Homo-oligomer: A and B are copies of this chain.
Amino acid sequence: MQDLFKAHLNKFIMITDTEFEAISSFFTIISVKKKQNLLTEGAICRSHYFVLQGCLRKFFINEKGVEQTTEFAIENWWVTDHISYEHRRPSEFFIQAVEPAHLLMITKDKQDELLQAHPTMERYFRFIYQRAYAAAQMRTKYIFGLSKEAFYHHLNNHYPEFVQRIPQYLIASYLGFTPEYLSEIRAKKNS
């Protein structure tokens, strides 16, 4: 299971087997069931999660009481509420398993220690945040640049296997519209 993480790390930095042993001792492997929450609104997000297998999502409840998904995390992605994690403030988000999942988990204190002890991990996380930030930039571009209908088709064309994998009401929640409207869009295409 750890091998997945090692292969992932090696895409960004060079590390020896012995160093990997040391690094991986900072993490804990956990398994979660479908719909299980790793973080709920109001709690302080104490951990950073790496998806070995499965799928998580981050969402919040808007003023109308509707769940709005802001982010999915599948294999080889990290997820946390960065504001809450970094400043130890109550979170405005939930993090929940969409599918049963296997995760690596690290607390903020442990991560600080890890970065102290293994400066090469500063470089690794610099890459990770840079990648995540770039992805967020593109998402913002699509949100503003495309109509809701075009946004759905864009997602469907670029990540068909992902759209297959996830229930429709969560796709709608991620794209920021209602399941009813998504259903209408799909009906239009098939006619």
Q: List A residues at the B interface (Cβ < 8 Å).
A: 60, 62-63, 68, 70-71, 81-83, 86, 92, 115, 119, 122-123, 125-126, 129-130, 132-134, 136-141, 143-146, 176
Q: Is the CB of B82 within 8 A of A145?
A: no
Interface of A is mostly: helix
Least CB distance from A188 to B in Å reads 19
Q: Is the CB of B139 within 8 A of A82?
A: no
Interface centre among A71, A132, A176 (most CB of B within 10 A): A132
What's the number of copies of this chain in the assembled complex?
2
- Counting from the closest, the 7 A-B pairs by CB-CB distance are A129-B129, A136-B136, A82-B134, A126-B126, A133-B133, A122-B122, A62-B145
Chain B residue, CB-CB nearest to A84: B134
Chain B residues near A115 (CB-CB < 8 A): 123
Chain B residues near A140 (CB-CB < 8 A): 70-71, 136, 139-140, 143
Kindly identify which residue among B134, B143, B145 contacts A83, using a CB–CB cutoff of 8 Å: B134
Least CB distance from A142 to B in Å reads 10
Q: Is the CB of B60 within 8 A of A141?
A: yes
Q: Is the CB of A63 within 8 A of B145?
A: yes
Chain B residues near A83 (CB-CB < 8 A): 134, 137-138
Least CB distance from A67 to B in Å reads 11
Q: Is the CB of B136 within 8 A of A86?
A: no
Chain B residue, CB-CB nearest to A145: B62
